Homo-oligomer: A and B are copies of this chain.
């Protein structure tokens, strides 16, 4: 049993006592230019109301080769934060333009990816957003090359398609700036290391940090390499602390690394932020759950999603790379020694003993 409607445009026309053509004109807003009398138009509109008429989009699509639907192809699976935020932004932007979003989770399988794109093209989507979990350089499937598509969180150097990305470089700089402003810019280390050669977030963040620190005359003290997750960060930082280093601040490349770092510091008897300041990237829910709350450079997922939709739906959009600014999510993980004030969430309950996590 499929969901369908009964009322046809013909019924509306009959009820209004006009021709289908006239009814059609009214519905398309072409009534003015067709010089349809206001009275007639009103009759049609009443009929639409009374009958609860809605156009049949299948018929419309067949006729216009348009569906008011956009596809989102993504390679990520269980990545809660990214996926939902991005889809939320995209969904809202799509709704604002009367479009619906159809999703295609490829689970990273290129064959599935191609299949999903085909399915979407079959359904005449008006365009496709191609997005990846990891900010990286990619090669989009050939199917997308000649079509209306926008890359989200990735770029393809050979395909001539618009792309939407976070401004990682500026994000890196602002992370360092926060530390500098707090007077915690002397011995700054980065925790995390990018291993994917196509990834661009990590390198750009580090570059931004280095630039800002260099400008202040306090070069980056070093890097603690580790995979981007809680446990690897815990292990790496624990081992590193055993070498008797005395960091002023740590820049963690994402919030999960920061969590592992909190754990390692706590185990080593170091407190955040009094002993060590921490700042990271993501601005996920996790940042708010930690104690003290983590100061994090937020990835504007929702904005990216919305921007991608707007770009896709804008026929005049150039095929350039758009960089969306990363904003600061204030927590209490950066020392306020030199009067740096967190203006967002209150870094309450940061007292000794309780901060041990």
**What is the CA–CA distance of A136 and B119 in the complex, to the nearest angstrom?**
34
- The minimal Cβ–Cβ distance linking A292 to chain B, given in whole angstroms, is 11
Q: Are A234 and B88 neighbours in the complex by a CB distance under 8 Å?
A: no
- Asked if A77 is at the interface of the complex by the 8 Å CB criterion, the answer is yes
Size of the chain A interface, CB-CB below 8 angstroms: 77
Q: Are B126 and A2 neighbours in the complex by a CB distance under 8 Å?
A: yes
Q: Are A124 and B2 neighbours in the complex by a CB distance under 8 Å?
A: yes
- The minimal Cβ–Cβ distance linking A94 to chain B, given in whole angstroms, is 9
Which B residues are CB-close (under 8 A) to A147?
Answer: 3
- The minimal Cβ–Cβ distance linking A127 to chain B, given in whole angstroms, is 7
- Asked if A118 is at the interface of the complex by the 8 Å CB criterion, the answer is yes
Which B residues are CB-close (under 8 A) to A36?
Answer: none
Contact with B along A284-303 (1 / 0, CB 8 A): 11101101000000000000
Using A56-B62, A88-B105, A286-B286 as known contacts, list a sample of 20 further A-B pairs with CB atoms less than 8 Å apart, ordered by residue number in A: A2-B64, A54-B121, A55-B122, A57-B124, A58-B62, A58-B123, A58-B124, A67-B123, A76-B84, A78-B285, A80-B285, A87-B103, A98-B119, A100-B104, A100-B119, A102-B102, A230-B289, A231-B289, A263-B354, A266-B357
Interface pairs A-B: 3 shortest CB-CB: A80-B80, A357-B357, A58-B61
